Each structure stands twice: as structure tokens, then as C-alpha cells.
Chain A
Amino acid sequence: MIQLQNIRKSYGSHEVLKGIDLTVNKGDVVVILGPSGSGKTTLLRCVNFLERPSDGQVTISGFTVDCKQPGKQNVLKLRRKTAMVFQHYNLFKHKTALENVMEGLVVAQKLPKEEAKQKSLDVLEKVGLSDKIHHYPSQLSGGQQQRVGIARALALSPEVILFDEPTSALDPELVGEVLAVIKKIAREGVTMIVVTHEMGFAREVANHIVFMDGGVIVEEGPPDEIFSNPKEERTKQFVRRITPEWSYVI
């Protein structure tokens, strides 16, 4: 279980997150929605301390880090319970697909090389890239790179995978293959927090929607409720603007 308590984040005098509380249960697929600048990506990056929150507490399966005095070792321990999929993939440029997936297993989790390799091959197969394991990122399409990114996260067997707008840097025709992979692993019961603009995906895959605006959670609940019957005015406006069809078709 993941618990965020009173997470605050300021840049100078500008407060981006104004005290966020959020609980994510094991196996949940939580999708965070909101207009740009609402703080949703910042919140996601606070979970693994890529952004250091100014205040609050992050708890992942019983291990709590206080944001006021996190301490290097605690942050490292927390990060090893999570994994992240980035908007711009951020694959290690000087390593092949296979080496990218193995890196965390060998270096951070200290798995024996053979075991790490087997595990990596398994997840790469799961994302449909068994034939590309020796390719460098520069030799892969955006969609393939992002699937390696997902494999890299999945291989770590984390408590939760954090997805930061995983499809928004992709060409429209490549979005589908990546969403299909995320859907597939969501069905296998992997806990995930997803920041995305893909409404169809949110509606279909999420079991909990969080709507953020101006650094606060405006409303949260099951997808049906949020999309069909939003209570807050800001949610209504947002949902009206982007549904029924939010797509890349030009």
C-alpha cells in the first residue's frame, strides 16, 4: 500500500502542491488527470523523490520517509520499492535494450548476472521485443523505446510503477502499442500510478481516477463516477472539454 500524506512542494514562493493526501491499494491502477500546470507530474515525481517534497510523508508498504529530513539512505530504499516510466523514455543511451533492463537488477538489486538476464529476457518478451534485445535505443522507434522503458520498470518487481505521461512524446500511430502493453500488465495486478492525457485509456483501465487542479486534488473516485457524474464544477468543465472523444485524429 502506498500512502501520501500532506505532500507539499514549493519552488521559491510558488506552491505547486498544496498538501496532497492519497492512498493507493495493492493492485490499484490510479490515473491522475488534470490540466497542464495542475501539479500532477510533480506529485508523481515526489513519490520517488525525483522532486523532493517540501513537507509531508511518503509511505510505501510500511516504510515511511519524512520529507523534511529524508536522508540519502532512506530515499534510496524508497526508490528501490518503486520504478518509473518516463515521458521521454530516458533509456540509457550507451546500453542495449537488454542491458537497460538488466542494469537495475544487477546494480541496485545485486542479482547474479545470469538470473538478471533471464528475468530481463522474460519481461522483454512480455512487451513483445524479444527480437530487439541487442539494439541500442537510437536504433529503436519511440514506441519500442517506451516498451523497453516499461520492461525496465517491470523487471524490478516494484511495489508500484509510476508512469509519467508515457505516450505523450510518441507519434500518434505508435501510441496504441504502448497503451496495449500497459493495459496488459495492469490486468496482471501490477500496482500503478499513471499521469496521462489518454482519456479512453483512463476510463478503460483505471479503477481509481484522481482529478487535480491548482495543486490540490479536486475530486477522486471510480472512473464511471468521475466521467459520467462529476460533482465538482472544475471537474465537470474538464470532463466536458475532453470527452467523449479525445484523440490524435487530425
Chain B
Amino acid sequence: MGKAFDPALIFEFLPKLLAYLPVTLFILVAALFFGLWLALLIALPRLYKVPVLSQLAAIYVSFIRGTPVLIQLFLVFYGLPAFLQLFHLDVSRANPLFFVIATYSLSSAAFFSETIRAAVNSVDRGQIEAAYAAGLTGRQAFVRIVLPQAGMIAFPNFANSVIGFLKDTSLAFSIGVMDMMGRGQTLISATAHALEVYIGLAIIYYLVVIVLEKGFVRAERRLQRHERKWASA
């Protein structure tokens, strides 16, 4: 057990922890970037009911939704090097950051693909018919009409997932990543004041979540401004 609890230490630790916030945010942004593209790849065969591919996609999504992210992290950490060895790629000495970003990309892709699928399916069928009637091709109808509307429907769900994944990045330390949590671990080893470090971390995560939430609410209002105009007209 550590030394006596000293609230003043929390404030002493805050700047030291905050210095590693960029690493946490980098993991989040990189994972979201790859995750979204991958999500689209997974969602498309299911939307267009491509045989075999859509079943594979469904199993992938079910597996990711059915397992804890911590397990996924370990699976990637131990499994990816073995897998890439088949292609004579040696990543066993790669930066753990690489495995974390890979895990959260793969994981967020499954969740986002579900969000995309639900949103696309909820776009009014009449919109697509109107696009076809106006002479758009199938691809144009999807890209110009369906996706923007689906994006708006999916946004709140997407925002929730982003906040969820931000909190999940706190697990990266378990494979030795030097993010905020990782820095916290080194502070604990150095000072033996675990509680103060963890409280400091909680404060930082909470503030970041609040900022993100506020930002998302604003973004949502902007996205839906044309709908609101209709409502008040």
C-alpha cells in the first residue's frame, strides 16, 4: 500500500499526466480514421447482401461485439506478429502503439459498421427512388443522397462510440504503451502515490469527455440545421 493520501499531490501530478494527453488523443484519432474506412468496407457487403462476404462480415462484427476489448488487445498483441510472420514481416519488436492502434481500428470498425448499416437502412426509401427518378446512377444515389443523410442519422451514435473508445484507450498501458495511463504507472512506481495519480487521471479523462460532448452537441446542431429550419418554418 502507498503512503498517506495527499490531495495536493493530485495537482502536482496533473501537468505531468497532461503532457501525455497527445499520445492518448493520437491513438484515438488514428484508430477512428482507420476504423471508419474499415467500417465502410464491412458495412457495404452487408448492405448489398453480397453472398459469403456479408456472412463473413456478420461473423466478424459478432465476434468483436462479443469479446472484451482487453482480450482483443491481447489477441492482436500476441496474434498479429504470428500472423504477419506468414508474410515474412517481423513486427514483434514494433512499438506497442502500433498494436493498440491496430486493435482499436479493428474494434471500432465493427461498431461503426453496425451504426452505418442501421443508418443507411433508416434512410427513407423514397429518397433513393427520387434520386433514381432524377437520373442518378446507383453509386451517385448512394454517395450523394444516402450517405449524407445516413451520416446525420448516425452522428449521435458515432459520437457516443468515440467517447467510449477514448475511455477504452486507457487500457493501452496493459501492453506497455506510454500514454497518460502509462505515464501514471511510472509516476506510481516513482512516488508510490497511486490514488493521487488515478484521481488525477480521472479528472483529465472527465474534462476531455465533457469537451468532446460539448463539441459533438454543437456539431450535431450544425449538421441538422436544415432540418430545424423546416421545423420552425
| Chain A directly contacts chain B within the complex, with at least one CB pair under 8 Å | no
Please report B residues at the A interface, Cβ cutoff 8 Å: none
Please report A residues at the B interface, Cβ cutoff 8 Å: none
